[in-house]
């Protein structure tokens, strides 16, 4: 099967000299769920953000669905429509209702007709369990509800890949479950997902592969069973002993 994401020897060096990513190479198949874990500052979020060019890379190559992200002919706005992103801080548009948040990109980017977009958006909100919250503004929703709206918003452009940047880290503990449930449903539907998270339970249950990053390096990439039950790398062992 062809890789839907191909990252080859990606390096990211910030102008202040900080070497955030060191030769990170990752291939993701269609429908795969990848979970990236690691201590904070290990570059996992940075790597995720390079996959839709919210961060540019210093060297290396990234291909999404066979398209070279840094080729001259590539329209990054077009490519981003195929890669949904969910943020740690939700980043919902506060001046739009839940429905308005989901509808904005299909209306303004895809220029689709209003009635059709509205119907799709209602279905998406229904799917994340927020059918009764359509007219609420983000400030009137709980964190878990906001994050579910954010997922619906990212899905509105019908992406093939979904990126999750610590989607539950800013949530109160009792709301983590509802967001993870939505993500599990997505994974079951065969969505290609790259998830940066601290939720080891989610990684064990849903991931096809779990990756461990530290100091900008991708150190381990393995199935959840091997990753959690028989870690061979001493740095991973040390990390797991702290978080489990």
Partner 1 sequence: MQLNLKSLFWNGIFVLVLLSICWLIYASGKRIDYNWNWERVVPYIATNAESSINAPEDGEIVLAANNQLVLENLSGDVIVELGNYSSLNVYEGDLIFEGDTLASIEEWRMGPILHGVITTVKISAWSLVFALVLGLFIGLMRISSNPALKKLSIVYIELIRGTPLLVQIFIVYFFIGTVLDLERFTAGVISLSVFTSAYVAEIVRSGIQSIPKGQMEAARSLGMNYPKAMMYVILPQAFKQTLPPLAGQFINLIKDSSLVSVISITDLTKAGREVVSGSFAPFEVWFTVAALYLILTSGLSWAIQALEKKLSASD
SS (H, E, C) 43-64: CHHHHHHHCCCCCCCCEEEEEE
User: Integer distance in angstroms from the first to the last C-alpha of the chain?
Assistant: 34
CB of 173 to partner 1, least distance (A): 23
Binding site residues, partner 1, CB under 8 A: 52, 54, 77-78, 80-81, 83-85, 87, 89, 91-97, 104-105, 108-109, 137-139, 150, 153-154, 156-157
CB of 10 to partner 1, least distance (A): 18
Pick 139 or 241: Cβ nearer partner 1:
139
Going by C-beta distance under 8 Å and a sequence separation of 6 or more, which residues neighbour residue 147? 86, 90, 167, 168, 171, 175, 179
CB of 37 to partner 1, least distance (A): 22
Pick 91 or 169: Cβ nearer partner 1:
91
CB of 30 to partner 1, least distance (A): 20
Pick 157 or 219: Cβ nearer partner 1:
157
CB of 165 to partner 1, least distance (A): 10
CB of 52 to partner 1, least distance (A): 6
Pick 20 or 236: Cβ nearer partner 1:
20
Going by C-beta distance under 8 Å and a sequence separation of 6 or more, which residues neighbour residue 37? 44, 196, 197, 198, 200, 203, 210, 211, 212, 213, 239, 243
Pick 38 or 84: Cβ nearer partner 1:
84
Pick 20 or 210: Cβ nearer partner 1:
20
């Amino acid at each position: 099967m062809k890789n839907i994401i191909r990252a080859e020897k990606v390096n990211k060096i910030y102008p202040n000299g900080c070497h955030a990513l060191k030769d990170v190479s990752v291939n993701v198949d269609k429908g795969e769920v990848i979970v990236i874990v690691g201590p904070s500052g290990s570059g996992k979020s940075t790597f995720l953000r390079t996959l839709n060019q919210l961060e540019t890379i210093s060297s290396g190559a990234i291909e999404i669905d066979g398209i070279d992200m840094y080729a001259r002919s590539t329209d990054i706005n077009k490519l981003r429509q195929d890669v949904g992103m969910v943020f740690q801080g939700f980043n919902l548009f506060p001046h739009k209702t839940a429905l308005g948040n989901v509808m904005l990109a299909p209306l303004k980017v895809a220029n689709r007709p209003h009635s059709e977009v509205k119907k799709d958006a209602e279905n998406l909100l229904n799917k994340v369990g927020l059918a009764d919250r359509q007219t609420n503004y983000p400030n009137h929703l709980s964190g878990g509800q906001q994050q579910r709206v954010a997922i619906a918003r990212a899905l509105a452009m019908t992406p093939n890949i979904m990126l999750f940047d610590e989607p539950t880290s800013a949530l109160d503990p009792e709301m983590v479950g509802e967001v993870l449930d939505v993500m599990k449903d997505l994974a079951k539907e065969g969505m290609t997902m790259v998830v940066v998270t601290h939720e080891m339970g989610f990684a064990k249950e849903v991931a096809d592969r779990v990756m461990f990053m530290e100091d900008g390096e991708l150190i381990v990439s393995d199935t959840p069973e091997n990753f959690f039950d028989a870690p061979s790398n001493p740095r991973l062992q040390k990390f797991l002993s702290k978080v489990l």
